[in-house]
Structure 1
């Protein structure tokens, strides 16, 4: 199974006040994503997420794929990464890992594009780097998934790019249904349930609901039970993978990824 290239990458209960000197995860979010509270919910009390927004120029192309390419470009990713680290003038928060928390921006240019985003973050000072799409590959690998049912809020063109990415990473993917949601940050629970229902494939060994802007944490167990397969969502996979790299686990012992380690067959982020 082909996996993402990892060349050049490095790798008692506490109170929240104590967590400020514990592990830190730098999260790079797109401006229209408002999942800060859910990011905190995934973190154990020993980990602090340091959240910042990518500054996307307002003169980028209107086409969705082109916007995703801009989001994942070095011109956007590197300044956001550098903002987390100190310089000679002023200290920084200095997270242990930096994460680009956008699924489509990290799959739209395939495995090579995903690797280039991580390289940009490392070049800007990140000690380790992760993308949402890379996290999804790691999560599906940890689950030994082969055929994956995929649901998204994207248009058909973006779904094609996602299918190509997953196929390139070694997974079997059927057709991805188009269940578009115009305002992702305000997606309802029923809209997310509809994405899962459209994606369901009785022959799949896992289901993946794509888009890191969707609030899904409270729905995952329900969907697992309904479809009787592990259901992975973008933010769930991202937080599991980021925490695994700093030797922590997601704060959700009943979730399917909680006890799983980062798979040795997908060593995206060697320590």
Structure 2
């Protein structure tokens, strides 16, 4: 008897309030397994302070170390705001922290966004977020630091329970954020459900819709 199917392990460091584990699994092929761990609970609303707390260097180091026992090929830090809140330097430091804790390869949500934009040769973007304005502003600053101009922006202003946002609200948010000069739209936050709306929105808007 053969099997089980050989698995490629990928470690995922999620913020403590991630409620979309199932959505992450929908993205991966059958031969990839996700190994999730979470940052410690913090009694804060969705805010700059929360983004700073869930990207604490020692917590990320500890979470990475916990994953290394099962030999992941890569460790992904899966929080968008936590990886853009301190700009490009902060994103690079998160990667360095995971690597120094033993990750053979490391990536963050915001770093992966920049790689996707470079692959698509996108320099003008619209951003749609569930955040309050000051967190969204940090995202625009992060993109600007990377040479990407934000030409459209919209946010829901939520401080909690982002995972409960229905698809129709997210779709309208993307439409509100879009601008004619935007070459793509980015929908931020790994806790915002987006899987089933991406293809319809790309067909409607005629441009790439990237999500966290």
- The two structures have a TM-score, normalised by structure 1, of 0.74
Residue 207 of structure 2 is aligned to residue 214 of structure 1: no
Show structure 2 runs of 5+ residues with no match.
none
Aligned to 1:122: 99
Structure having the larger proportion of residues in strand: 2
Aligned to 2:55: 72
Aligned to 1:227: 205
Matched-pair contact (CA < 8 Å) for 1:56–1:70: no
Show structure 1 runs of 5+ residues with no match.
1-13, 86-91, 235-271
Alpha-carbon deviation of 1:216?
A: 0.8
For residues 190-233 of structure 1, what are the alpha-carbon distances to aligned partners after superposition, in whole Å with 9 as ceiling and x for unaligned?
12112101111111111111111111111100110111111000
Larger mean Cα displacement after TM superposition, 63-72 or 153-162: 63-72
Pick aligned residue for 2:155 from 159, 165, 178? 178
Residue 121 of structure 2 is aligned to residue 153 of structure 1: no
Residue 148 of structure 2 is aligned to residue 163 of structure 1: no
For residues 68-92 of structure 1, what are the alpha-carbon distances to aligned partners after superposition, in whole Å with 9 as ceiling and x for unaligned?
111111121011111112xxxxxx2
Aligned to 2:40: 55
Measure the CA separation in 2 of the matches of 1:168 and 1:26. Answer: 28
Matched-pair contact (CA < 8 Å) for 2:85–2:139: yes
Matched-pair contact (CA < 8 Å) for 1:151–1:176: yes
* Paired residue secondary structure (2:71): coil
Measure the CA separation in 1 of the matches of 2:82 and 2:148. Answer: 19
Pick aligned residue for 2:174 from 189, 196, 218? 196
Matched-pair contact (CA < 8 Å) for 1:69–1:108: yes
Matched-pair contact (CA < 8 Å) for 2:151–2:181: no
For residues 76-135 of structure 1, what are the alpha-carbon distances to aligned partners after superposition, in whole Å with 9 as ceiling and x for unaligned?
1011111112xxxxxx21101001100000001000000111111111111111000000
Residue 101 of structure 2 is aligned to residue 112 of structure 1: no
Structure having the larger proportion of residues in helix: 2
Matched-pair contact (CA < 8 Å) for 1:96–1:128: yes
- Name the count of aligned residue pairs: 210
Matched-pair contact (CA < 8 Å) for 1:152–1:179: yes
Q: 1:62 to 1:42 in 2, by over 3 A?
A: closer
* Paired residue secondary structure (2:67): coil
Larger mean Cα displacement after TM superposition, 106-115 or 166-175: 166-175
